[in-house]
Chains A and B, each alone.
Chain A
């Protein structure tokens, strides 16, 4: 039971990262390799606000969200926008890694190299549940992640803005002709991804401790979850994240910690090889695209 909740809690963070990666990738087709660094920045800023400036949890989180949104927008403006056709020019892989290094090292300069303790929600209170000790924080992680997922799904499916996002994701040039400002939509997706990143960062920080390397391997697992669920697939991101979290939690009973970490990468590579569109869309996705469009 403990492992189950722990797995789901970790999985919810992977899911949040996969969701944010998916937001960006659905409208631009790129994978935000700097996302993990933004998550880390979100966590570090909220830690700073709480410890140095003495803000309470919620205001600190809001500051962190604001900072992450600004970071993501700046990132889009400096690293992605000028590259032109992102399918043709893969320069964004290089520039986003550049951004990631810059963020990591700025954090290192500002906050130091020591991992810092980060407060739990509800002061780390435990509840006993079917004979297992479960932290309320972990339950909250799962709840918050699911709420964010549902809200995002509703926005995408029900609102005018959501329809615009889907239009841009499908055909950016055509959407532009139909009066949708593609760039504005892309920017807001980056901004939303930033907000989600900050929340995810604040939620995971108590478990990993806040430091500039805190998301180093979690970030990669976020990609793994995104791959598992299929890029840009919101539901898939959640399924991918939770599956990954659970597999890790249960496998860690049998194998040492180092190997546990590589499991998710092995899974990711296998999924890419056999189901590059993610497990959600095995077989029937993308088969029907006309090859004439390619030529």
Chain B
């Protein structure tokens, strides 16, 4: 792996110059293209642009948000027909047709996303496949509306009463393509884009930094469908004839292939993918079945050999392209200390009160009638043998699991049964037993995700790069950088989390939690998988966190750290509390010794 860090900024600048040149050249070629090309290639380019829009839309839901759907062709067709019917049967102008197309495709996306929040990937694929079939049937059989299999003719395309020539059509569609690309760029380079990736990578961790998974999935599908709807209405108006055959299973496969080739979850992937998939068949005059076999083979091979697609490969080779401009222009930062995260100690003395907490899994009571009080500003350890119900307790407190009985009161407020993304806003941050970092985001992005609840710019701000967005993004990244500095990992900012050691990953999780500016930090086995030095470092960090007033609730097996830094210890076994008290009290408690050593201890 090439070494890259915050010091690689000259490298990025070198590339960015090349990229600007490349972009300008592409723009120039696209603008001048109609004057150089014949009629055939002009049409080819127009269709290419339309499919790039489709592919961009599809990539937002399937590539960024990780919802692999197979209904892209159906949505495209629905958009095309909705706009065609509006323009022809209702005699409305083109732009109204486009709006209707977006509304219709948006409604279809709700149908797909309705169950998306509770079912896994394969069900989503099945639902979308079902919708593809249903839309086909409607297009074929509702003849009074769609003219059935014979196809649907549209009047010549006009905008504001002007009939468009072929050149004009080219530029109009190119204009829409640029518009959609700018939209996607704004969206993806904002916290929305990172949120989508977070949802794809790890829903539990995403929820843990304040993302409502369900909402974001619905939004991703909605945006993606509306973009495809725009493409559909452009296609209908441009081609002046549409028929149900166009929008079948093979188109879905075509769109899927463009994303697989170009690279899922990248900005330029769709454009590259569509260009390749459309140009390949032009070179060898393949029969349709041979072409499909090649497509099928590409799907099988590329998915396994090149999961990131072409753009993924490029990014792997030139990591520095992706470096973050916010941390390049650091300037003189004031020295950072944990003081920044100090929380003031108002509110009840017990920051967390757990009463009669019970969780049953079938016949097994994992946690039974547990009472727990955590005093503000202390390090409170929860210990017990394996399977004692520690992680279940923590899951119940942090909202990942719902208690069968009992209540959880945080800072004087009943939070029983609340979702994790609501708890984050109230000041509960947590880390996980098995590291849950977002693997497609770099270390600094991961830490910055912790601060996402403090973003205030909206979708419009994201797309138009408002001043507020730029300011908040810069602040968030500087803060994340500071956070990394606190744990001593600032030099790894631009690394992939997967390239860090387990200990470093655990520290990054703590930095992420710290970025949430919590009142209570819940650490689930922070020392598991760490070596002795790292444990030492970690205990220093936990002490510092406690010293600025953040309460720490910790599950840990590593007895030296538990005894070294805890103020209070609760011991549970078989889901019941068997001892509680200060460190000194618990360490001499006979019941605890029995639970840990298995028998009455007579001598020590």
- Chain A residues engaging chain B, CB cutoff 8 angstroms: 30-31, 33, 78-79, 82-83, 87, 89-91, 93-95, 97-102, 104-106, 108-109, 216-217, 220, 223-224, 227, 256, 258-259, 261-262, 265-266, 268-269, 272-273, 276, 287-292, 294-295
Query: Contacts A98-B300, A109-B289, A272-B115 hold; do A259 and B392 have CB atoms under 8 A apart?
Result: no
CA distance A221 to B231 in the complex (A): 30
Residues of chain A within 8 A (CB-CB) of B5 are none
Residues of chain B within 8 A (CB-CB) of A82 are 304
Residues of chain A within 8 A (CB-CB) of B118 are 276
Q: List 24 A-B contacts (CB under 8 A).
A: A83-B304, A87-B120, A89-B307, A93-B125, A94-B260, A94-B300, A97-B256, A101-B250, A101-B296, A101-B299, A102-B293, A105-B290, A105-B296, A220-B130, A256-B141, A262-B137, A266-B130, A268-B127, A269-B130, A272-B119, A276-B123, A288-B362, A290-B392, A295-B433
Residues of chain B within 8 A (CB-CB) of A102 are 292-293, 296-297, 300
CA distance A129 to B290 in the complex (A): 49
CA distance A294 to B434 in the complex (A): 10
Whole-angstrom distance between the Cβ of A169 and the nearest chain B Cβ? 15
Do residues A93 and B400 form an inter-chain contact, with CB atoms below 8 A? Answer: no
Partner of B133, one of A31, A93, A220, A289: A220
CA distance A79 to B260 in the complex (A): 15
Residues of chain B within 8 A (CB-CB) of A261 are 133, 137
CA distance A287 to B298 in the complex (A): 40
Q: Say if the beta carbon of B183 comes within 8 Å of chain A.
A: no
CA distance A242 to B321 in the complex (A): 57
Do residues B126 and A272 form an inter-chain contact, with CB atoms below 8 A? Answer: yes
Do residues B395 and A98 form an inter-chain contact, with CB atoms below 8 A? Answer: no
Q: Say if the beta carbon of B391 comes within 8 Å of chain A.
A: yes
Do residues B134 and A106 form an inter-chain contact, with CB atoms below 8 A? Answer: no
Partner of B300, one of A99, A258, A294: A99
Partner of A265, one of B121, B134, B256, B391: B134
Tell me the nearest residue of chain A to B69, going by C-beta: A93
**Interface on chain A toward B: helix, strand, loop, or mixed SS?**
helix
Whole-angstrom distance between the Cβ of B401 and the nearest chain A Cβ? 4
Tell me the nearest residue of chain B to A84, going by C-beta: B304
Query: Contacts A90-B121, A291-B400 hold; do A272 and B127 have CB atoms under 8 A apart?
Result: yes
Q: Say if the beta carbon of B140 comes within 8 Å of chain A.
A: yes
Whole-angstrom distance between the Cβ of A57 and the nearest chain B Cβ? 29
Tell me the nearest residue of chain B to A81, going by C-beta: B304
Tell me the nearest residue of chain B to A289, going by C-beta: B361
Whole-angstrom distance between the Cβ of A16 and the nearest chain B Cβ? 18
Do residues B126 and A108 form an inter-chain contact, with CB atoms below 8 A? Answer: no
Do residues B293 and A291 form an inter-chain contact, with CB atoms below 8 A? Answer: no
Tell me the nearest residue of chain B to A257, going by C-beta: B141
Residues of chain A within 8 A (CB-CB) of B362 are 287-288
Residues of chain B within 8 A (CB-CB) of A289 are 361
Do residues A294 and B361 form an inter-chain contact, with CB atoms below 8 A? Answer: no
Tell me the nearest residue of chain A to B138, going by C-beta: A262
Residues of chain A within 8 A (CB-CB) of B122 are 30-31, 90, 93
CA distance A105 to B133 in the complex (A): 20
Q: Say if the beta carbon of B481 comes within 8 Å of chain A.
A: no
Whole-angstrom distance between the Cβ of A62 and the nearest chain B Cβ? 28
Residues of chain B within 8 A (CB-CB) of A98 are 295-300, 303
**Interface on chain B toward A: helix, strand, loop, or mixed SS?**
helix
CA distance A87 to B250 in the complex (A): 26
User: A-B pairs with CB below 8 Å: how many?
Assistant: 145
Residues of chain A within 8 A (CB-CB) of B220 are none
Tell me the nearest residue of chain B to A75, going by C-beta: B300
Whole-angstrom distance between the Cβ of A97 and the nearest chain B Cβ? 6
Residues of chain A within 8 A (CB-CB) of B130 are 220, 224, 265-266, 268-269
Do residues A258 and B141 form an inter-chain contact, with CB atoms below 8 A? Answer: yes
Q: Say if the beta carbon of B530 comes within 8 Å of chain A.
A: no
CA distance A217 to B129 in the complex (A): 11
Chain B residues 503-527 with CB under 8 Å of chain A are 524
CA distance A213 to B499 in the complex (A): 47
Residues of chain A within 8 A (CB-CB) of B66 are 90
Tell me the nearest residue of chain A to B295, going by C-beta: A101
Q: Say if the beta carbon of B131 comes within 8 Å of chain A.
A: yes
Name, among A102, A106, A288, the residue most crowded by chain B CB atoms within 10 Å (CB to CB): A102
Residues of chain B within 8 A (CB-CB) of A89 are 307
CA distance A295 to B134 in the complex (A): 38
Residues of chain A within 8 A (CB-CB) of B524 are 295
Residues of chain A within 8 A (CB-CB) of B73 are none
Whole-angstrom distance between the Cβ of B466 and the nearest chain A Cβ? 35
Name, among A94, A99, A269, the residue most crowded by chain B CB atoms within 10 Å (CB to CB): A94
Whole-angstrom distance between the Cβ of B324 and the nearest chain A Cβ? 27
Q: Say if the beta carbon of B64 comes within 8 Å of chain A.
A: no
Whole-angstrom distance between the Cβ of B555 and the nearest chain A Cβ? 11
Do residues B300 and A93 form an inter-chain contact, with CB atoms below 8 A? Answer: no
Beyond A97-B296, A295-B395, 7 additional pairs, beta carbon < 8 A: A82-B304, A90-B68, A94-B68, A95-B303, A97-B299, A101-B299, A256-B141
Tell me the nearest residue of chain A to B436, going by C-beta: A295
Residues of chain A within 8 A (CB-CB) of B129 are 220, 223
Whole-angstrom distance between the Cβ of A75 and the nearest chain B Cβ? 9
Do residues B134 and A91 form an inter-chain contact, with CB atoms below 8 A? Answer: no
Partner of A106, one of B250, B293, B303: B293
CA distance A31 to B303 in the complex (A): 17
Q: Say if the beta carbon of B253 comes within 8 Å of chain A.
A: yes
CA distance A109 to B292 in the complex (A): 11
Whole-angstrom distance between the Cβ of A44 and the nearest chain B Cβ? 14
Do residues A99 and B296 form an inter-chain contact, with CB atoms below 8 A? Answer: yes
Whole-angstrom distance between the Cβ of B193 and the nearest chain A Cβ? 20
Tell me the nearest residue of chain B to A291, going by C-beta: B401
Tell me the nearest residue of chain A to B300, going by C-beta: A98
Name, among B114, B120, B292, the residue most crowded by chain A CB atoms within 10 Å (CB to CB): B292
Query: Contacts A31-B125, A276-B119, A295-B432 hold; do A259 and B137 have CB atoms under 8 A apart?
Result: yes
Q: Say if the beta carbon of B548 comes within 8 Å of chain A.
A: no
Whole-angstrom distance between the Cβ of A243 and the nearest chain B Cβ? 17
Tell me the nearest residue of chain B to A264, going by C-beta: B130
CA distance A268 to B128 in the complex (A): 11
Do residues B296 and A94 form an inter-chain contact, with CB atoms below 8 A? Answer: no
Do residues A104 and B125 form an inter-chain contact, with CB atoms below 8 A? Answer: no
Query: Contacts A258-B140, A259-B141 hold; do A78 and B300 have CB atoms under 8 A apart?
Result: yes
CA distance A220 to B433 in the complex (A): 41
Whole-angstrom distance between the Cβ of A76 and the nearest chain B Cβ? 12
CA distance A28 to B134 in the complex (A): 29
Query: Contacts A98-B297, A102-B293 hold; do A273 and B366 have CB atoms under 8 A apart?
Result: no
Name, among B114, B304, B366, the residue most crowded by chain A CB atoms within 10 Å (CB to CB): B304
Do residues B361 and A290 form an inter-chain contact, with CB atoms below 8 A? Answer: yes
CA distance A90 to B115 in the complex (A): 18
Residues of chain A within 8 A (CB-CB) of B141 are 256, 258-259
Residues of chain A within 8 A (CB-CB) of B579 are none
Residues of chain B within 8 A (CB-CB) of A294 are 204, 400
Query: Contacts A30-B122, A91-B307 hold; do A295 and B391 have CB atoms under 8 A apart?
Result: yes
Chain B residues 70-121 with CB under 8 Å of chain A are 70, 111, 114-115, 118-121
Query: Contacts A101-B292, A269-B127 hold; do A262 and B133 have CB atoms under 8 A apart?
Result: yes
Whole-angstrom distance between the Cβ of B136 and the nearest chain A Cβ? 9
Do residues A95 and B204 form an inter-chain contact, with CB atoms below 8 A? Answer: no
CA distance A139 to B289 in the complex (A): 37
Do residues B392 and A292 form an inter-chain contact, with CB atoms below 8 A? Answer: yes
Query: Contacts A272-B115, A273-B114 hold; do A33 and B300 have CB atoms under 8 A apart?
Result: no
Whole-angstrom distance between the Cβ of B309 and the nearest chain A Cβ? 12
Tell me the nearest residue of chain B to A94, going by C-beta: B303
Do residues A105 and B292 form an inter-chain contact, with CB atoms below 8 A? Answer: yes
Do residues B126 and A268 form an inter-chain contact, with CB atoms below 8 A? Answer: yes
CA distance A216 to B125 in the complex (A): 16
